[in-house]
Amino acid sequence: MLSDLPLDSTSSGMPCVTAGASEVWDDAMKVISRKLSAQNYDLWFRPIVCQRVDGQNIYLTAPNQFIKEWFETHYQQVVMEVIHEGSTRPYVIHWQIDESSSQAESDADATVRKAKTAKASAPPSSPATPIDSPPSRRNGAGGKSKPPIDSEPGQELLARYVFDSFVIGPSNQLAAAASRAVADNPGGKYNPLFIYGGVGLGKTHLLHAIGHHIHAEHPSWRILYLKTETFMNEYINQVRSGRIDEFRVKYRDHTDVLLMDDIQYLGGKERTQDEFFHTFNALFESHRQIVVTADKYPHEIPDLEERIRSRFQWGLIADIQAPELETRVAILQKKAELDQIDLPTDVALFLATNIKSNVRELEGLLIRVAAFASLQQRPITIEFAQDTLRNFLTQSAAHLNVEAVQREVASYFGVKITDLKGQSRQTSVTRPRQVAMYLARKLCKASFPELGLKFGGKDHTTVMSACRKVEALLDSDPQLRGMVQEIERHLMA
C-alpha cells in the first residue's frame, strides 16, 4: 500500500520517495500537520505519495481519482501557498493515479465512507488560520435538524418493551443500569454499550427500552433499531443495485442512535464487517450512541475482526445471565399484570421452578396457560397448569438427567464420556469434567454422592470441590462463563 511506504526521517507527513529532494515537500507537510486535525490529515494527506521533486516540478501519486480531486479542490492551494512562503520558485504539481495495489479500491472505498461522515470543513484560502473549523455538536445550537424517528418497516420499536416493564434482578442489574444511563445520556461515557447473554433473557427488551426513552427526550432524533442480519442483507442488496451511497448516508448521516441486535452474526462476513466498522467509526466520532447485543462476549464471537472487538471494549460490556427463581417469579407477575391475567403466586412459583433459563419461554408458557383457562373458563391453579403443560414439562424433564448433561458437555469439548468418568488429570479433561459436574448439580438437582457415582464412583467431596471451583471461575473468567451458558442453553432447548 502506498500509505505503508517508510517516511523520510525528517518528515512528519507523507513519504517522499526520492531522498535528498524531499525538503520542500516535507517542510510543507510539517506546517500543514500542525494546522490540520489528525483525522483529516490521515484521511487526505497520508494516502498521497510524493514520488520526486524535480526542479520546480512536484510529482505526486494518489491511490484513486476521488482523493486526487478532493485534494485539488480543498487542499492543494493551501499547500502551494505554504511552499511558496519558503521558496520563490514557482513549483507546479503533477499527478498520477496508482491503481496497481490490490488494496487501492478498498482503501478508496473506505476513504469515501469516512469523507461522508467526517464533514471536514473546506480550508480557507490562507494557511494563516487553522484549516479545521470546530464541528457543531449534534444537539447543540446551530446543529442541523434531524428527521423524525423512522424505524424500518417491520422493525419499529415495540411498545411493550419499555423500562417500566423490565424486571430487574441480580442477573441483569448491570445491563439494566447501563441501559438507563445510556438512555439518559446518549453518546456519553457508555458508548458503545455491548450487552451479551443467552436467548430470551431480555437483551432485545433493553434495546427497545433505550430507543423509547431517547425518543421521548429527543423526538427529532432518528433512532434505528434492526437485526444484524437486516444490516447485512440491506448492504448486499444496495451493493448489487449500485446504491451503496444511499446505504451509507442512511446509517452514517441520518442515524442518531443505532440499536443493533445479534451482532454475533457479523462473524465471518468480511465485507459486512468492513462496512460496519466504518459505520461504527462515523457514529462514534460524532458522539452518536451505539448499542449492540450478542449471545457471546466479543472475544468469543468467531471470525470477528480484532479491530471491531477492540471498539466494543471502548465503552461498557454488560452481561445478562439466567434469572434467579425470585426474579423469574417477578417476571411472571409483571407479565400477568400487564396482560391482566389472574395469576396466583403458587402457580407463578410452579412455572418459575420448571423453566429456569429462558424468560421468553417462561412468558410463553404463561400465555398458553392463560389462553386455555380463558377458553375453558377455568381458574388458573397448579393442577390446571400441570395438566395444560404436561407434554412440555414431561419432555423437558425426560432429557434433563445427568447422562444428558454428560453427553452435551463431552460433545461440546470434544472428549469422550468415559473421560469424564475416568481419572485423567489432564486439563483438557478435568475442566470439562468439572463443568459437567457443575451443570448436573445445577440442572438435575442431583446430590453430591449421586453425582460421584455417576462420574465413575468419585467421592462426593470431589464433586463438591469441582462445583465450587466452576462457580468461582464463572465470576472471573468470561470465556468459561460463555461456554457454560451456551451448553446450558442447548440442554434447556
pLDDT tens readout for residues 107-154: 444 444 444 444 333 333 333 333 333 333 344 333 334 443 444 433
Q: Percent of the chain having pLDDT more than 90? A: 29
CATH topology for the 163-320 domain: Rossmann fold (3.40.50)
**pLDDT digits 0-9 by tens, 303-319:** 899 999 999 988 899 98
The pLDDT value given to residue 203: 93
Phi, psi of 259 (to 5 degrees): -115, 110
What is the C-alpha to C-alpha distance for residues 360 and 352, in angstroms, rounded to an integer? Answer: 12
pLDDT value, residue 207: 95
d(CA 59, CA 18): 10
| 59: helix, strand or coil | strand
d(CA 213, CA 122): 37
Pick the CATH number of 402-492 from 1.10.1750.10, 3.40.109.10, 1.10.3720.10, 3.90.1310.10: 1.10.1750.10
> What pLDDT is attached to residue 28?
84
Examine the pLDDT at 86 and tell me if it is beyond 80.
no
Q: What is the mean pLDDT of residues 293-301?
A: 87
Per-residue pLDDT, 141:
32
Q: Is 147 exposed, middle or buried (0-12, 13-18, 19+ CB in 10 A)?
A: exposed
What is the DSSP track for 402-444?
A: HHHHHHHHHHHHT--HHHHHS----HHHHHHHHHHHHHHHHHH
Residue 266 has pLDDT above 80, yes or no: yes
Q: Cell numbers of 138, please?
A: 449534534
Distance CA 442, CA 371 (A): 31
The mean pLDDT value of the chain amounts to 79
What pLDDT score does 478 carry?
83
Tell me what pLDDT residue 389 has. Answer: 85
CB 321, CB 327: distance < 8 Å = no
Which amino acid is it at 438? Y
DSSP 469: H
How far apart, in whole angstroms, are the C-alpha atoms of residue 372 and residue 392? 15
- Segment 158-186 shows an average pLDDT of 90
- Report whether pLDDT(261) > 90: yes
Indicate the burial class of 178 (C-beta count within 10 angstroms; 0-12, 13-18, 19 or more): buried
Q: Which residue has the higher pLDDT, 228 or 442?
A: 228
CA of residue 329 relative to chain centroid, distance: 30
- Is the pLDDT higher at 208 or at 124? 208
3-state secondary structure of 231: helix
Report the percentage of the chain scoring pLDDT > 70: 80
Q: What is the per-residue pLDDT for 208? A: 95
Ranking 223-227, 374-378, 487-491 by mean pLDDT, the lowest is 487-491
- For the cut 60, the answer to whether the pLDDT of residue 258 exceeds it is yes
**For residue 103, pLDDT beyond 70:** no
Average pLDDT in the 63-77 region? 76
pLDDT of residue 289: 95
Which pLDDT score, from 0 to 100, does residue 482 have?
Answer: 83
Domains 2-118 and 325-393 share a fold: no
Burial class for 407, CB neighbours closer than 10 Å (0-12, 13-18, 19+): middle
Does position 298 have pLDDT exceeding 80, yes or no?
Answer: yes
DSSP string, 244-292: HHHHHIIIIIS-SEEEEE-GGGGTT-HHHHHHHHHHHHHHHHTT-EEEE
The type of residue at 193 is L
| pLDDT greater than 80 at residue 44 | no
In this model, does residue 10 exceed pLDDT 50? no
Query: Where do the structural domains in the chain lie, given as residue ranges?
Result: 2-118, 163-320, 325-393, 402-492
CA pair distance 167, 21, nearest whole angstrom: 69
Strands 57-62 and 49-54: antiparallel
**Which of 45-54, 93-102, 136-145, 221-230: highest mean pLDDT?**
221-230
CATH number of 325-393: 1.10.8.60, 1.10.3720.10, 1.10.1740.10, 3.50.50.60? 1.10.8.60
Mean local confidence (pLDDT), 434-460: 87
Decide if pLDDT at 225 tops 90: yes
Q: How far apart are the first and last CA of the chain?
A: 49
Is the pLDDT assigned to residue 451 strictly greater than 80? yes
Residues 381-396 pLDDT 10s: 988 888 888 777 655 5
User: How far is Cα 441 from Cα 73, in angstroms, rounded to an integer?
Assistant: 70
pLDDT given for residue 37 in this prediction: 64
Q: How far apart are CA 249 and CA 420, in angstroms?
A: 55
C-alpha to C-alpha distance for 15 and 29, rounded to whole angstroms: 10
Instruction: Reply yes or no on whether the pLDDT at 437 is more than 70.
Output: yes
Domain 2-118 class, CATH top level: alpha beta
Confidence at residue 15, expressed as pLDDT on a 0 to 100 scale: 52
The answer to whether residue 182 scores a pLDDT higher than 80 is yes
pLDDT at 483: 87
The pLDDT assigned to 104 comes to 40
Query: Residue 233, Cβ neighbours under 10 Å: how many?
Result: 12
